[in-house]
């Protein structure tokens, strides 16, 4: 009776198990955000612009929804929800860092839909963020997508200076060693 009264009798909603494709030595990364794909050199932060964390691409977003760019696993979700790390089926590690200096927002305006250990498919919603709030409180909304274990990559093809749609437009093709 008490369980019913407090809604504790409801079963926890389970996400369907994501079927992971076989590792084939290539990862195609779709845009995690709708907007414009640009070179990392356009990011107003030397850590990203000078590739200190790794190579990749950046998206100048036109909306505040981030989806998974690959089939893989969530390996890190920052407590402030401004960044998420994924590992592809081929072992490539990808960091999506929403905006610049957004860590200082302490999670305000960010909502996560995944947790560490979750398996995700390309296009699955990861995080939403309030673009107006980020524009007001952070340096930029530009979002670097970084390969943090570049030593595992033998070739990286980038699609820069194009309009991209989250979950659809290919932005990186990674060949693993």
pTM of the model: 0.87
Residue 140: CB atoms within 10 A of its CB come to: 17
For the annotated catalytic residues, the residue numbers are 97
Q: Which CATH number is associated with domain 24-176?
A: 2.70.70.10
pLDDT on residue 22: 57
Mean pLDDT by 10 residues, the chain (177 residues): 45 48 78 98 96 97 98 96 96 97 96 97 97 96 97 95 97 94
List Cα–Cα distances, 47 to 29, 53, 55, 118, 122, in angstroms.
22, 7, 11, 28, 27
| Domain locations in the chain as residue ranges | 24-176
């Amino acid at each position: 009776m008490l369980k019913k009264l407090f809604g504790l009798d409801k079963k926890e909603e389970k996400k369907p198990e994501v079927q992971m494709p076989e590792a084939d030595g290539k990862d195609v990364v779709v845009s995690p955000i709708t907007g414009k794909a640009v070179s990392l050199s356009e990011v107003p932060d030397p850590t990203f612009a000078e590739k200190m964390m790794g190579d990749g691409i950046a998206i100048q977003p036109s909306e505040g929804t981030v989806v998974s760019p690959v089939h893989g696993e969530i390996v890190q979700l920052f407590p402030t929800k401004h960044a998420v790390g994924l590992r592809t089926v081929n072992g490539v590690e990808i960091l999506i860092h929403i905006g610049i200096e957004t860590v200082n927002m302490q999670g305000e305006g960010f909502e996560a839909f995944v947790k560490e250990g979750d398996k995700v498919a390309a296009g699955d919603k990861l995080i939403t963020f309030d673009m107006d709030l980020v524009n007001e409180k952070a340096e930029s909304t530009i979002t670097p997508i970084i390969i943090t274990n570049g030593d595992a990559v033998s070739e990286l093809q980038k699609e820069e200076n194009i309009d991209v749609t989250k979950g659809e437009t290919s932005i990186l093709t990674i060949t693993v060693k």
